[in-house]
Chain A
Amino acid sequence: MFESIKKFFMNVMTSGRSDETADEARLDSIVRYILLNSLIFIGGAFLFGFAFQNLASGEMAQSLVDFGMGMMAVLAFFVLRTNVPFTASGLLTVVPFMILCAFFAWSGGAQGSGVLWSYSFPMMAIFLLGMRNGTVLSLLLFVIFSLAVFIPGFSARTYPLLFAFRASGVYILVLACTLVYEQTKVAKDRWVSKLTRQLKAERDEIAAMKDNLNVGLFLINTAYEIQPQYSHALEKILDETDLQGHNFLDLLANSIQQKERETLMDYFTMVFNRSYDAQMLEDINPLHQFTYLSVSGGEQKTLRCTFAPITRDSGEVFVLGTVSDQTFEVALQKQLSEEEGKRNEEMRALFEVIHVEPRVLHDFIEDAEYEFDRINAILKDNDRSAQSVMVDIYQSVHAIKSNAVILGLDSFSTKLHALEDEIKTLREKADISFEEVLHITVELDKLMRIKDSFKDLIDKILSFNVGENRMKEEQVLVQTLERVIEKASSDLGKKAALTVKIDPLAIEHGPRRVIKEILMQLVRNAVYHGIEYPEGRLSVGKNEEGKIRLNIELQGAKIVISLTDDGRGLDFKAIRAKAVEMRLIAASGELEDKNALTQILFMPGFSTATEADMYAGRGIGLNLVRERIKEVRGSIKLQTEEGKGTLFKIYIPVEISISSGSQTA
């Protein structure tokens, strides 16, 4: 009740401006409103009072003037409540008040005290209407006032001259004092507003910096309470709003433990102490980098804080804190070091791989692939329990690991070992979940990818070696033999084709040149003596194209070369005839001994061909073969079946070939 009356009263007195924030700068104008309203009430009351008094005493004209003035004051009251400038209602009020004062001075009032009212007028006018308007109205009143006190007969009362001088002198003094006071006030106001503008500009600038800073900046007092002027970024970084007055340590409740909190409090004590240098404080800062989790939950962040003491003018010490979000930087750094670690590991794995003899590694990969295939078959087998699957996979992974360890593939075997351990624990679990099996599958996939990379590598190494040496030699040999056959058969009008099966390793360890020489000789012989003419072949039911098969392989420490043709076989009759003719054997003896006849074949100068040409008939054929084989301490066997073909089998020991120096492996 009382509150509402007070509110109503304030509303009336301030023309409804009292609700606005009681800012000190506005207080000045509120006072003007109150003064003006007071004037309206007092002046209005007087004016209406006089109006009724005059009406009662029958002075109609006087009454009307008073009434009109009173109405002006009422009008001013309402105008004041609108948005019309203050000066308008000021004039509406001050002018009637001036007339009232003039009337009092003119009428003299009780014992001439009517003039006293006028002394209040300059203050009112200047305060309410400002210097210029106020001064004009004050001077106007002064003229009427002077006329009233100085000119006898002008006013209803006659004043003594000395009184007139004193009265008007005091009026001038009041006016002068008011002017000086107002002038001083105006000057001061101007200075204050200039200062305010400057301060505001500075504040805006600081606020802009503070709000756009992406570092959380704040002050805390000795009770660890965050002060109101903190930077905008602080809320964002800490994921909290309205931090003013919050206890900084409480904000970290989720991020630090009680013990750390105590450490932090000790640290702040040191900071507040101001006796330690900045570097040292930074060195022991417990929040140099820490994992932050907001009190209200949310994402984990890596934050970095710094603290420094500052002293206010009042002597109070605060800690200036900065917080910055390092999450991204830390994650990036972690990723970088991970990448580097990964690269280093890859490098190490590569070194390990290239230290293994390619052939051995090749075997290892084959074995691993065999085991991986086995694992996959186990995985696919739906009839088996997850547990028994794990038992078997464990064995396979273990087998691969053992081989990897033997070869010194440390980084690969470490990974296999880790997976082995995981499977080992699963193996003993009664209930294996899909997630766990999927995990093992994914890990297996990773290992297989490593195996794939080994394979790529070994293929590259092998193709590099092959491309430079062996592959070419092998091809050169085959091409040479093919050319020999082609030439011989086209010369003779025969048809023959070569098929080969060569173990590259055998060539690698063989006396390349010797092998080539022997084979050229034997292949030529096959075309010349073995393969029949096309018509002859067709007549015995053979394909018209003769077949020569070459097979080179490594058997233990021996290179075994077999060369077969599907020709007519050895013609022992012709051999014997020739041998007899050359007197190599007695005409009658050893006729039937094929072994002996075969021996003759390898004798120097023996040839069944009737004419010597580029390819045959020089008598060096098989003898050369024998010599070459002797050189490399090898042996040759011959098998033949009439009408079906001939087989030459040559054995060359690997050691000899290596020591012969014709090939470096």
Chain B
Amino acid sequence: MEKYIQPFVDVCQNVFRDFIGSELITERPYFVDKNDPHDWDVSAVIGLTGEARGAVVISMKETLALKLTGKLTGSTHTSLDDEVVDAIGEIINIIAGNAKRGLEESFRLVISLPTIIRGKGHTIMWPNEQARIICIPFKIFDNETFCLSVAIDASSGA
């Protein structure tokens, strides 16, 4: 299963290095109960289907979303307005696009277009049955974090 997760981690690091100009620090992955409340403000959902099924979700807080938008567009924002969501959507598109290239070539997988969810305390209904998701935390700009959450069921082998 890590063969489906690792590409996302690599792509995140590359995209943040190339487009934001910051190195990501990848921290230790852990498990999260999918019904546990969280305090992310923006999430992007990328669906996977094929030999493995599930979703990969990238979640962050408002402060980081604003900083990233600033880095990308040069403009300053104070709230999660449409432009911020667009900017975040753009980063996620690049991540999904790069991951798509690697994953769809190597595995029988299809990756969906990312969907962006905005709002405090939003809940994600994961497509999988099991109660846990694996969360990979990233550290950026010294004190900001975001999280790559993964719930994948491998149908064959893995």
Stretch in A378-386, A503-511, A585-593 touching the partner: A378-386
Q: Are A379 and B156 in contact (CB under 8 A)?
A: no
How close is B93's CB to chain A, nearest CB, in angstroms?
24
Tell which of A379, A439, A445 has the most Cβ of chain B within 10 Å: A445
Contact flag A434-B9 (CB < 8 Å), given A379-B31, A441-B134: yes
Residues of B within 8 A of A380 (CB): 28, 30
Residues of B within 8 A of A173 (CB): none
Q: Are A434 and B26 in contact (CB under 8 A)?
A: yes
Residues of A within 8 A of B30 (CB): 376, 379-380, 441
How does the 8 Å CB contact mask read for A356-367 relative to B, with 1 for contact and 0 for none? Answer: 000000000000
Q: Are B31 and A438 in contact (CB under 8 A)?
A: no
Q: Are A382 and B130 in contact (CB under 8 A)?
A: no
How does the 8 Å CB contact mask read for B145-158 relative to A, with 1 for contact and 0 for none? Answer: 00000000000110
B2 within 8 A of A: yes
Q: Are A438 and B157 in contact (CB under 8 A)?
A: no
- Compute the total of residue contacts between A and B using a CB distance below 8 Å: 50
How does the 8 Å CB contact mask read for B52-78 relative to A, with 1 for contact and 0 for none? Answer: 000000000000000000000000000
Residues of B within 8 A of A438 (CB): 2, 5-6, 9, 29, 136
Q: DSSP majority for the B interface?
A: mixed
B131 within 8 A of A: yes
Residues of A within 8 A of B136 (CB): 438
How does the 8 Å CB contact mask read for B18-54 relative to A, with 1 for contact and 0 for none? Answer: 0000000011111100000000000000000000000
Q: Are A452 and B31 in contact (CB under 8 A)?
A: no
Q: Return the contact of B5 from the options A376, A386, A442 (Cβ within 8 A).
A: A442
How close is B99's CB to chain A, nearest CB, in angstroms?
15
**Nearest-neighbor residue (CB-CB) of B137 within chain A:** A382
Q: Are A389 and B28 in contact (CB under 8 A)?
A: yes
Chain A, interface size category, equals 20 to 34
Residues of A within 8 A of B131 (CB): 452
Q: Are B2 and A437 in contact (CB under 8 A)?
A: no
Q: Are B156 and A376 in contact (CB under 8 A)?
A: no
How close is A365's CB to chain B, nearest CB, in angstroms?
13
Residues of B within 8 A of A389 (CB): 28
Q: Are A437 and B6 in contact (CB under 8 A)?
A: no
Residues of B within 8 A of A448 (CB): 31, 130, 132
Q: DSSP majority for the A interface?
A: helix
Q: Are A452 and B28 in contact (CB under 8 A)?
A: no
**Nearest-neighbor residue (CB-CB) of B133 within chain A:** A445
Residues of B within 8 A of A250 (CB): none
How does the 8 Å CB contact mask read for A429-473 relative to B, with 1 for contact and 0 for none? Answer: 000001101110110111011001000000000000000000000
B1 within 8 A of A: yes
**Nearest-neighbor residue (CB-CB) of A342 within chain B:** B157
How close is B158's CB to chain A, nearest CB, in angstroms?
9
How does the 8 Å CB contact mask read for B115-144 relative to A, with 1 for contact and 0 for none? Answer: 000000000000000111010100000000
A82 within 8 A of B: no
How close is B119's CB to chain A, nearest CB, in angstroms?
25
Residues of A within 8 A of B134 (CB): 441-442, 445
A340 within 8 A of B: no
Residues of B within 8 A of A376 (CB): 30-31
Q: Are A445 and B132 in contact (CB under 8 A)?
A: yes
Q: How far is the CA of A452 from the CA of B34 in the complex (A)?
A: 14
Q: Are A338 and B157 in contact (CB under 8 A)?
A: yes
How close is B105's CB to chain A, nearest CB, in angstroms?
13
Residues of B within 8 A of A193 (CB): none
How close is B156's CB to chain A, nearest CB, in angstroms?
7
A300 within 8 A of B: no
Contact flag A442-B26 (CB < 8 Å), given A338-B157, A376-B31, A449-B130: no
Residues of B within 8 A of A444 (CB): 31
Q: How far is the CA of A389 from the CA of B27 in the complex (A)?
A: 13
Q: Return the contact of B156 from the options A335, A382, A434, A442 (Cβ within 8 A).
A: A335
Tell which of A335, A338, A380, A449 has the most Cβ of chain B within 10 Å: A380
Residues of A within 8 A of B26 (CB): 434
**Nearest-neighbor residue (CB-CB) of B136 within chain A:** A438
**Nearest-neighbor residue (CB-CB) of B156 within chain A:** A335
Q: Are A379 and B2 in contact (CB under 8 A)?
A: no
Residues of A within 8 A of B130 (CB): 448-449, 452
Q: Return the contact of A437 from the options B1, B29, B31, B132 (Cβ within 8 A).
A: B29
**Nearest-neighbor residue (CB-CB) of B32 within chain A:** A376
Q: How far is the CA of A434 from the CA of B31 in the complex (A)?
A: 15
**Nearest-neighbor residue (CB-CB) of B1 within chain A:** A442
Contact flag A435-B28 (CB < 8 Å), given A338-B157, A442-B134, A452-B131: no
Q: How far is the CA of A446 from the CA of B9 in the complex (A)?
A: 20
5 closest A-B pairs by beta carbon, nearest first, are: A379-B30, A441-B29, A380-B30, A442-B2, A442-B1
Interface residues of A (CB under 8 A from B): 335, 338, 372, 376, 379-380, 382, 386, 389, 434-435, 437-439, 441-442, 444-446, 448-449, 452
Apart from the given pairs A380-B28, A382-B28, A386-B28, 8 other A-B contacts in the complex at a CB distance below 8 Å: A335-B157, A376-B31, A379-B29, A379-B31, A439-B2, A441-B31, A448-B130, A449-B130
